[in-house]
Structure formats: structure tokens, C-alpha cells
Amino acid sequence: MIREGRVRINGTVVRTLPAWVDPQHDQVEVDGQRLRPHRSSHEPCYVLLNKPRHVISTTHDPEGRRHVTELVSTGRRLYPVGRLDADSTGLILLTDDGDLAHRLTHPRYEVAKVYRVSVRGRVTDEDVQKLKKGLFLVGRGDPGGGTTRRASFAHVRLISRMHRRGKEPRTRLAVTLREGQNRQIRRLVARLGHKVLRLERVSLGPLRIQGLPVGHWRHLRPGEVASLRRAAGLPPPGRPQRKKDH
């Protein structure tokens, strides 16, 4: 049809191939009739996974370690939203909804992530205040020193302190991040002279991991998808996004 001169793009006849168009912005006509952009019937897929330890939260690992996409079988190509290091457990969202993935990982949108953290040693009230105020961390990839950035927790809550006879003291914290540097929780705790023993992500925006066993996954319910998109500043599924949201 293009070679026969039957196709116009933005009012101009196109006779050569390939002919590139943006279906959302360019006007395409065939035999004088304007074509409407095709809306895909492909509905995005949303999966909640409770990641076990020693599993990598990427789609591929050069070292051959097991990764999160191997734990989920949907027949779809899904991508993890954000990362948990190999030693951490908890909530990982996998989806093919690119707009939502971008909003949930970009610090501009400040979607809260909550972690339960078990720390070796006694974290004092003064330590908690330091974590809230923030400490400077050297940027990753700067072996000789280099760029430093202040890193802090949006919120820190002391859950408990334990000190049993004959055992080292432990402290449990609930930590909220709205933006994060690489391994930020572990590195900030280390700055105070302590070591993170266990780290579990328990929520992402309105999404909760409660009730899902470690290593198991499930599809998100429609209400959860709507709430998650709303928290990220996106309309519910199926409703067009306004230009001001871009």
C-alpha cells in the first residue's frame, strides 16, 4: 500500500520503506481514511514474591546464581522492581508494567518501602537519632574515596532490644526508605559499629508481604494494583493517563 502511494503520514504521501511513525502522535491515513491507534488487549501482569535468601533480584546473574524470575512461572517476561541483595528477604514486585516500575523506583515519586531489620548489638536512642538525621556514605564505584552523599532513613522505629544471658545483644528496627543508595541500610548500620543480621522488606507503598510464605508468589488482586498505581501517581488500569502526569 505504501509503494502504491495509498498511505499518508501527517498529510504527506509516503512511498519509501521503512516508514517510521509514532502511533500516539502521527496521523496515518490509508485511502483517505485516518487510522486510529490500536489499543493492545495485553493486560499487564503483577506478581508479588517473598524472596528467599541467596536468590538474586535481577533477571540474570553472570555467576550463575538463582534469580527471582526463576521462582515465578506465569508464561510472561516479567522484571523485578527495585532490588534486594542476596542476603535479604521479603517483598519483590515483578511486572511488565514499565510506567509503574519507573515510578516505584524513581526517588522523585517517594514511594515508601518498609524493612524489618535485626541488628547485632544494642542500638541506642542516640543511634536512632543519627540514622534519622543521616550519615555520609561514600559513593559506590569510588575506590579511592570520591563522592559522598548524605543518606538517611525517612523513619526509624525501635521494635525491641534483646539481651539474653550468655548471648550477644540484638536490636530490631522498622526502617522506612523513600529513596536509597546501594545497600544503604547495611552501610548506615555499619557506620554505627553494628552489623545487620537479617533484613526483610515487608511493604512497598500500600503492598504488604504479610501472609505469603518465603519462596512463594501470587498475582496481585485488582484492588492492590489500583492502590499501588495510585500511590505512584498513576491512574487505575484501563484509564488513560493525563498529559500532566508525564
- Taking only the tens place, the pLDDT of each residue in 55-112 is 999 887 788 889 999 999 998 889 999 889 999 999 999 999 988 998 998 888 889 9
Exactly one of 26, 85, 87, 245 is catalytic; name it.
Answer: 85
Q: Answer yes or no: do 30 and 108 share one domain.
A: no
For 33-96, the three-class secondary structure string (H helix, E strand, C coil) is: EECCCCCCCCCCCEEEEEECCCCECCCCCCCCCCEHHHHCCCCCCCEEECCCCCCCEEEEEEEC
CA 191 to chain centre: 25
**Residue 215 resides in a domain:** yes
Q: Residue with C-alpha cell 535479604?
A: 88
pLDDT band of 38, cuts 50, 70, 90: low
**Residue 246 resides in a domain:** no
**Residue 238 resides in a domain:** no
Q: Answer yes or no: do 57 and 73 share one domain.
A: yes
Q: Which domain holds residue 99?
A: 46-139+147-231
Q: Answer yes or no: do 17 and 81 share one domain.
A: no
Q: Is the pLDDT of residue 242 over 60?
A: no
Q: Answer yes or no: do 167 and 207 share one domain.
A: yes
Phi and psi, residue 91, nearest 5°: -70, 125
Say which residue, 31 or 106, is predicted with more confidence: 31
Say which residue, 166 or 143, is predicted with more confidence: 166
Q: What pLDDT is stored for residue 60 in this prediction?
A: 77
* Average pLDDT of the residues in 141-156: 71
Q: Answer yes or no: do 128 and 202 share one domain.
A: yes
Say which residue, 124 or 147, is predicted with more confidence: 124
Q: Is the pLDDT of residue 241 over 70?
A: no
Say which residue, 132 or 207, is predicted with more confidence: 207
**Residue 218 resides in a domain:** yes
Q: Answer yes or no: do 76 and 198 share one domain.
A: yes
**Residue 240 resides in a domain:** no
Q: Answer yes or no: do 153 and 219 share one domain.
A: yes
- What is the pLDDT of the chain when averaged over all its residues? 87
- 22 given a catalytic annotation: no
Question: Domain with 31 in it: what CATH number?
Answer: 3.10.290.10
For 185, half-sphere exposure in the C-beta direction (CA atoms, 13 angstrom radius) is: 29
Q: Answer yes or no: do 29 and 75 share one domain.
A: no
Question: Domain with 172 in it: what CATH number?
Answer: 3.30.2350.10
The lowest-confidence range among 31-45, 168-182, 200-214 is 31-45
Q: What pLDDT is stored for residue 8 in this prediction?
A: 94
Structural domain tally of the chain?
A: 2
**What is the reported pTM?**
0.76
